[in-house]
Chains A and B, each alone.
Chain A
Amino acid sequence: MRTGLLVLLGFDLVTLIVRHNRLLDLLHGTALDRTAVIAAVLLIPVLIWLLIALHRRGGTGRGWYQQLTQDGAGRAGFWIVTLLAVIAMLAPLLAPFDPLATGPSRNAAPSLEHWFGTDTTGRDLMSRVLYGARYSLAIAVLSVLVSLTVGTLVGLVSAFRPGVGALLMRGVDAGLAFPRIVLLLVLFALWEDVGVLAMVTILGLTGWFQTSRIVQAEAQRVKRCEYILALRALGVSTMRILRHHVLPNVAAPIIVVATLGAGNIILIESGLAFLGVGLDEPNPSWGVIIFNGRDLVGTHPWIATIPGATIAVTVIGFSLLGDGLRRVLNPHRV
């Protein structure tokens, strides 16, 4: 399994280098945005590898893969997400056309040349959907990383500094109560032009509330354990306790929340694009493609149908993977 991932990572690098020039042209936005997307795509195999490493250290008798794929649901989730990651990495190799290049055949139905048809300006939809995987996964992975970091920090602080914690948790309550799409709309009203990095920052900074709750609850549980009291009596510093005893306990529920959260981010990002907020033309994001096809859904249904179905499959994949991981890692509470 590990060699397989290394091979994938290698492929990823090769496609990046071989198609480097073309790739940079294809990604709309600032240089920073392009770097962010590429970094995220590179990050995916690393994350999968980390997941394995983390679980190996847990030292359960059977391998994580066997446990995860015990039933059909876990297996399906794992393979859907893995396949999407591969598609995102290899998009420049797989895409038959340039996703931004307009062509002569406009609004063409799916055919042998254009498998998914073309859109109003004659761009190949299959290429756009394949590149869309890059955007969706990159934004999902990076925003989840941001919200995990913030959420974990806030959760730990509130568990170990009760005074500040009460205040922070009030804020978290308010954040959880606020409809996320409306919150995001309000935030996006402030920006004229939104690139990938701004998206990631905003999505990440509005998504950590649940994580912090879970981390706080779990950290508080661990804090009261007798072995922690013993460590304290021995004079072990709080930082050391946090790093070596609290974080490993918190890791399992965090991984599950992160996986489910990634699916949710993909839904939200596409929803915002559908409202004309966030990423826009000519980025081949799935939400943008649906936005472009929304008025043609009666006459040219393929434009909006295919990316929507892709989103659905992706989110199902993340949900199944999350449920499977919950079973394997067996967190106390999620």
Chain B
Amino acid sequence: MLGGIGRRLILAVLTVFLVVSLTFLLLQIAPGNPYAAYIEGCGLDPNCLTVVQSRWQADEPVYRQYFAYMDRLVHGDFGNSISNGRPVLALFAAALPNTIILGLGAMAVTFGLGVVLGTLQAVRAGTIIDHATSLITLTAFSIPVYWLGLMLAAVLAERLGWFPSLGAYDPSMYNQMTFAQQVANRLHHLVLPAISLGIVGAAWIARHHRAAMLDVLTSDFVRTAHAKGISRSAVLRRHVMRNALTTLITNFGLYVPIVLSGVVLVEAVFDWDGIGQLTANAVNRRDYPLVAGASVLTATGVVLGNLLADLLQLVADPRQRSRP
């Protein structure tokens, strides 16, 4: 069991290393000098130029730059943003909480709705309910995430005024609120973004969960359980759901990259101040250090998510533990 974890850890580190190297390579082949913005900032000051060159080893061979880059990353130095001069890591740290809130909200929608729909479909397989839900999940999976967000914002926020359509919280009054009010305010702002981001995932989970449930439902031990006279709901809860859980956890690992892609789009729609907005703005401003930081940190996030899924799998599935 521990051997398996160790192997996965090594693979995870290897993946992050690959992404970091690739990012470095991409910045090298980017048109223009990757440090041009810093050099431009110097004007005619010769001292500043020397400082920039020694800091980035810009006049050294590429492989030396690569080692220097790696060295800085290992020490947590991702460089400074070109557009506002602040450290990349600090910018990401400031944006991270909002993205985590959005991600958790979306996951709640995805797994809550997905499991309910998938279970419903599996239990009523082949009926009109199953087919209708299939059609709904197919449609939900084909709708552009950002467009769904726009439509929800147009109807539920602008027309009906039920929810706010912009921002993660109300900045004008946030500081005067009590803690409970702040939480309520944040949750109120979270509803629409979480739904738009979560629904696509829910459709995906529903499809996989339906298949997993059907797999278990048709197995012999479920028939035996029914034959023993256990009630339908108890069979579903104790035997079927438990066994379908492993598929769900695998899907959680696969879901992390999907939700991170969606976050970028949904944050743009709702002007949500998170990692996604930071990345998209960095790209539009060609803020290379920020873009590189986004790439490395996102990869790390995905790898951590996958590791978490692997660990959960070990907890949930005893068979995995005995495997070498």
A: which residues have CB within 8 A of B?
170-171, 173-174, 176-183, 185-192, 263, 267, 270-271, 274-277, 290, 294, 297-298, 301, 304-305, 308, 311-313, 315-316, 319-320
A320/B283 contact (C-beta < 8 A), A180-B261, A182-B264 known: no
B194 within 8 A of A: no
Q: Enumerate 9 A-B pairs (CB-CB under 8 Å) in ascending A order.
A: A173-B15, A174-B14, A174-B15, A179-B302, A186-B291, A267-B142, A275-B265, A294-B269, A315-B143
Contacting residue for A276 out of B257, B269, B284, B306, CB 8 A: B284
Taking a contact as CB atoms under 8 Å apart, the answer to whether B280 and A185 are in contact is: yes
Interface size on B, residues (CB 8 A): 50
Chain B contacts for A186, CB-based, 8 A: 23, 26, 283, 291-292, 294-295
Cα A263 to Cα B138 with chains together (Å): 12
Judging by beta carbons under 8 Å apart, are A312 and B29 in contact? no
Tell me whether B295 and A177 are in contact (CB under 8 A).
no
Once A179-B261, A182-B261, A271-B265 are accepted as A-B contacts, the answer to whether A189 and B151 lie under 8 Å apart by CB is no
Q: Let me know if A189 and B268 touch, CB within 8 A.
A: no
Q: B19 an interface residue at 8 Å Cβ cutoff?
A: yes
Residues from chain A with a CB closer than 8 A to the CB of B258 are: 179
Is B139 in contact with chain A by the CB < 8 A criterion? yes
Query: Which A-chain residue is minimally distant from B275 (CB atoms)?
Result: A182
Specify which of A176, A182, A192, A308 lies most central, judged by the most chain B CB atoms within 10 Å of its CB.
Answer: A182
Contact (A290, B283) CB under 8 Å given A177-B15, A312-B143: no
From B150, B159, B306, A177 is in contact (CB under 8 Å) with: B306
Q: For B36, list chain A residues within 8 Å (CB).
A: none
CB distance from A169 to the nearest CB of B (A): 11
Known: A173-B15, A308-B144. A316 touches B260 (CB 8 A): no
Contact indicator B144/A189 (Cβ below 8 Å): no
- With a cutoff of 8 Å between Cβ atoms, the chain B residues found around residue A298 in the complex are 153-154, 158-159
Q: Among B15, B158, B261, B282, point to the contact of A189 (Cβ < 8 A).
A: B282
State the CA gap A170–B11 with chains docked (Å): 9
- List chain B residues, Cβ under 8 A from A267: 142, 144
B145 touches A271 (CB 8 A): yes
**CB atoms of A178 and B302 under 8 A apart:** yes
B38 within 8 A of A: no
Q: A301 to B158, alpha carbons, bound, how many Å?
A: 11
When the two chains form the complex, which single residue of A182, A187, A277, A305 contacts B298, counting CB atoms closer than 8 Å? A182
Q: Closest CB-CB distance, B96 to chain A, in whole Å? A: 15
